[in-house]
Structure 1
Amino acid sequence: MVKINVDAAFDRVARSSVLGVVVRDSNEQLLSSCIQLNNAIASCFALEAQAVIQGLTFACDLGCRHVILERDSLTVISKLRFNNEDLSVLRPYISEKMGISRNFTLCQFVFTPRRGNVVAHLLAHFGKSLNIDSLWVEEIPSSLIPLVEADR
């Protein structure tokens, strides 16, 4: 079982964004983390849903089969939990989520407050200064470690 935390940073003017993804095992040990840049995101709301899709895709690429995805957006998590037809702007993302989640034996969506999503949040904002997709195995960028430890 792995836990995936995702968050995003959005630049309205440039219509660009950065997604931060953190994957931990059932003992809370860091397995991997990444930053992904996106362009032409229509809204913050769409970006919140895109972060979930990226988190699921990243976990699938890592070969994970039992996942719990945590997000600090209650609206997005609520919509993703239900398989009802959604008529909002999230409809394409929910459709994509359905397709990706078939790759997992277990796939749950859980709301977590911002405090439970700190590392993914820091990664997303850190990614704005990197301006390149990045991947770390069993670690996060060393410059974020003091910030994460200070939050504990």
Structure 2
Amino acid sequence: MFNESEEAGIGVVVRDSSGQVIAALAEKVAKPCNSELLELLAARRAIFFSTEIGIHQPIFEGDSETIMKALQRRTLFSSSFGNLVQETLFHASSFRSFSFSHTLRKGNVVAHALVQRARLSFPLLVWMEYVPPDINMFVSADLAVH
């Protein structure tokens, strides 16, 4: 979330099985009430983006343990987020298979760099088979953690 405005950012990176970047996205959104809701919105956006680019068996990683566990267990962990969890899982069910996995924040640096890129950019930026040089330096760091 951006402290200086009523906006927040979402960063999504899509990799193939060898870790190569297939696509990336940086998007500005209205600032939600808390960081857990932002993480849930990011997971939902990752699902939509994966569908848009034709991914069929995604593995979604996020660094919010609470959100990833709720999606893994298919539980409605709070009444305020329950409908959004349910909607997110509904959209994910369109894939042949899918899973959710918690990763440490240091294993998610590309997504966080994309969030910072969203702060300085248009509402939505998408890259296919490429990430900008200022983001690319984080790709290797993520791969080293996995």
Scaled to the shorter chain, the TM-score interval is 0.7 to 0.9
Q: How many residues align?
A: 143
- 1:48 aligns to what SS in structure 2? helix
Runs of 4+ in 1 over 6 A off after TM superposition: none
Structure (1 or 2) with the greater helix fraction: 2
Q: Is the partner of 1:89 in helix, strand or coil? A: helix
Q: In 2, Cα distance between the equivalents of 1:89 and 1:129? A: 30
Give the TM-score normalised by structure 1: 0.84
Of 89, 110, 113 in structure 1, the residue corresponding to residue 80 of structure 2 is 89
Q: What 5-or-longer segments of structure 2 have no aligned partner?
A: none
- Offset, 1:39: 1.3
Paired with 1:145 and 1:115, the residues of 2 have a C-alpha distance of 15
Report what 2:26 is aligned to: 35
Give the Cα–Cα distance (whole angstroms) in 1 for the partners of residues 48 and 141 of structure 2.
30
- In the alignment, the residues of structure 2 paired with residue 25 and residue 12 of structure 1 have an alpha-carbon distance, to the nearest angstrom, of 34
- Say if 2:89 is the partner of 1:98: yes
Match of 1:22 in 2: 13
Task: Give the alignment's Cα RMSD to 1 decimal.
Answer: 1.9
Matches within 5 A, 1:47-58: 47-58=38-49
**2:101 aligns to what?**
110
Aligned to 2:121: 130
How far the C-alpha of 1:106 sits from its partner, in A, is: 0.8
% identical aligned pairs: 27
Task: Classify 1:111/1:40 alpha carbon distance in 2 versus 1 (closer, same or farther; 3 Å).
Answer: closer
Letter aligned with residue 112 of structure 2: H
Aligned to 1:76: 67
Deviations 1:26-72 (A, max 9, x none): 11111000111111522222111100000011001111110100001
Unmatched runs of 5 consecutive residues or more in structure 1: 1-9
